[in-house]
Structure 1
Amino acid sequence: MMGPVLAACLLIILSTAWISQANGATCKKDGGVCTCNGQTKNVDCSSKGLTATPSNIPTDTDRLDLQSNKLSSLPRTAFHGLNKLTYLDLNYNKLQTLPPGVFDHLVTLETLGLSNNQLKSLPEGVFDKLTKLTRLELGSNQLRSVPEGAFESLSSLNNIMLTNNPWDCTCNDILYMAKWLKKKQDEGLGGVDTAGCEEGGKAVLEITEEEAAEDCVYPNTTTAIPTTIITTLASSNDDDIPELPVPQENFQKFLGYQEPDHLPTQPQCLMSISGYLGLMMFFVLISAAILYVIHFLKKA
């Protein structure tokens, strides 16, 4: 009965080898773009011109550096499986939004860098699972306020960076943040004074309810055509309809056009192709081993 045993051993060896190759596919030694240090568990993907997060990051990674790339968005599952990560650097990218739950699996994370991006808002509960976080960097974005309760779960936080954001201190949405910063200042949290109002130069933590009494109404970023114009155009003859110039930028956005720097880079395409080829080879070898076992059992 050595035949089936040998075949089973072959399956285990092939599976282990394929999984190891897949986990290390982002590293230079495997043809990837990132530098991986197996001893320190560091993965350095900084300054690579990446427009998407690398796939197959080793699951035992402790520090992941993605700063100074061209990331404009993150998949919700971008960091799933990285439950040993303590350091994540996303500074100096082009992030405009964060999907809900993107950090939920990073339960051991201690440092999160999101400065120098283009974030205009934060989703509800985005930091709720980061109870071990000690440093949060949100400076140099486009944030005007944060959602109610955004920082409540950050029980281990000892430093926060909020500078160079257009914090709207006339709007009542800022009151949660103002009260939280004041409380944390009394508790000795560092960096609470880095949040300054867009107008007046006053610190956010000094804002009172009387000063932030206005309802929050932010202009829509899309350009709408007034209803009266639509009605007039609908009732007019085609010959009478004036030609309305459409800005090229808006037209491209309407069509879903993307600039070339949002397209996958050549190394990323190669990584994807190699991953699929590796998966296909894996299944071919498994099928061959299974057929070998069946053939041996029939003979026996």
Structure 2
Amino acid sequence: MMGPVLAACLLIILSTAWISQANEALCKKDGGVCSCNNNKNSVDCSNKKLTAIPSNIPADTKKLVLQGNKLSSLPNTAFHGLKELTYLDLDGNQLQTLPPGVFDHLVALGTLHLNNNQLQSLPNGVFDKLTLLKELSLYKNQLQSLPNGVFDKLTGLKELGLQINQLRRVPEGAFDSLSSLNILYLNTNPWDCSCKDILYLRDWIDDNKDKVTGAQDAACGDQQSKAVLEITEKDAASDCVSPNTTTAIPIGTMTPASVIYDDIHEIKVPQENFQKFLGYQEPDHLPTQPQCLMSISGYLGLMMSLMLTSAAILYVFHFLKKA
């Protein structure tokens, strides 16, 4: 009787392996580029040299990591199917702009990382729908200004990173709605301490020294020995006119090129359908040879599991028949 028992155990083990393989195959609808953890609803697409976000990322994904790729732009519908997403990492890409509405459907998002990109500005209202956001990291970009009210809806935000940018000022009242904020990074920006509007930032830092990490490191761009915190009304005597980039262009006054581009790609043609079947959104994203090999090896492994499972079933029936 030991034969059938051993065979049954083998069958259970192989069935478990087959189910795991099947789940992984379901998760890898992006053409096998990303690795997935179904138990944690996590998809890791980091360091894959992607220039477009893979399509068909599972709708129940909670954590999506796209760090270390070559994304230079995003379609405004990039994340519209991921309403359960709580963590999004876009660090270390080449993003120069963010289209309006790109994050509007991420109503459950708690963490957003946009560090180490090439962002020079932010669209008006880009974070308005992220009312559950706890952490927003924008450090090491090229931000020259912030639009009015850009953080006004983030009343639950606990950590904000603005360090290592090109910020010279912030709009009046920029941080007034951040009632839950615990940590703010402002260092390594060329703050313009000659203009009166720097006094808002000075006063806010003075009132929230315990929240500003390295408050003394938020230094004036032309007087690196002097911190914003130490600026006097006499120092900031100029009534400077803020550059046009300080206030974002209203969404209704223009149609972003990215939106037009997205509309064009909504036209269903056989070539696009074929690309989406492979898991890519752009014509130049056919799988590379290593990606194809990864997909083929995955399918071969699945077929091997099926063959072994079938053999185990026949083995069990054989011993049961003898018994």
Specify the TM-score bucket, using the shorter chain as the normaliser.
Answer: 0.5 to 0.7
CA contact (8 A) 2:186 2:212 kept: no
What's the counterpart of residue 216 of structure 2?
193
Gaps of 5+ in 2: 1-26, 42-61, 246-256, 263-270, 278-323
- Once the two structures are TM-superposed, the CA of residue 88 in structure 1 deviates from its matched residue by 0.4
| Higher alpha-carbon deviation: 35-44 or 100-109 | 35-44
Match of residue 176 from structure 2: 152
Stretches of structure 1 lacking an aligned partner (at least 5 in a row): 1-26, 222-257, 265-271, 279-300
Work out the CA distance in 2 between the residues paired with 1:149 and 1:104. 16
Give TM-score, length-normalised by structure 2.
0.57
How far 1:51 moved relative to its partner?
1.4
Superposition TM-score, scaled by structure 1 size: 0.61
C-alpha RMSD of the superposition: 3.0
The correspondence of residues 231-250 of structure 1 with structure 2, limited to 5 A, is none
| Matched AA of 1:189 | K
Q: Percent identity?
A: 50
- Which one-letter code corresponds to 2:111 in the other structure? Y
Quick one: structure 1 residues 208 and 48, their matched pair in 2 at CA, closer, same or farther if it must change by over 3 Å? same
Runs of 4+ in 1 over 2 A off after TM superposition: 27-38, 217-221, 272-278
The 2-side partners of 1:121 and 1:35 are apart by: 37
**Aligned residue number for residue 142 of structure 1:** 166
Deviations 1:21-68 (A, max 9, x none): xxxxxx853238665545152100111101123614521111100011
Counting only pairs closer than 5 Å after superposition, residues 40-55 of structure 1 correspond to structure 2 as 41-53=62-74, 55=78
Query: Following superposition of structure 1 onto structure 2, how do residues 65-214 of structure 1 map, counting pairs within 5 Å?
Result: 65-185=89-209, 188-191=210-213, 192-200=215-223, 201-214=225-238
Quote the offset at 1:102 in angstroms: 0.3
Larger CA deviation: 149-158 vs 35-44: 35-44
**1:153-192 Cα distance to aligned partner (Å, 9 max, x none):** 111111111111100111112111111110111xx21413
Kindly tell me: are residues 28 and 165 of structure 1, through their superposed partners in 2, closer, same or farther at Cα, counting changes over 3 Å? farther
Shift in CA distance, 37/210, structure 1 to aligned 2, threshold 3 Å: farther
Alpha-carbon spacing, 1:146–1:172, altered in 2? closer, same or farther (3 Å): same
* 1:93 and 1:117 in contact (8 A); partners too: yes
Cα shift readout 1:88-113 (whole Å, capped 9, x = no counterpart): 00000010110011000111111111
Say which SS state the counterpart of residue 52 (structure 1) adopts: coil
Alignment deviations for residues 108-130 of structure 1 (CA, whole Å, 9 cap, x no partner): 11111111111100000000000
Change (3 A) 1:80 1:274: farther
Higher relative contact order (CA 8 A, sep 6+): 2
In structure 2, distance between residues paired with 1:35 and 1:171 = 50
**What is the SS of the residue equivalent to 1:202?**
strand
Identify the residue that residue 272 of structure 2 maps to in structure 1.
273
In the alignment, the residues of structure 2 paired with residue 151 and residue 71 of structure 1 have an alpha-carbon distance, to the nearest angstrom, of 25
Q: How many residues align?
A: 204
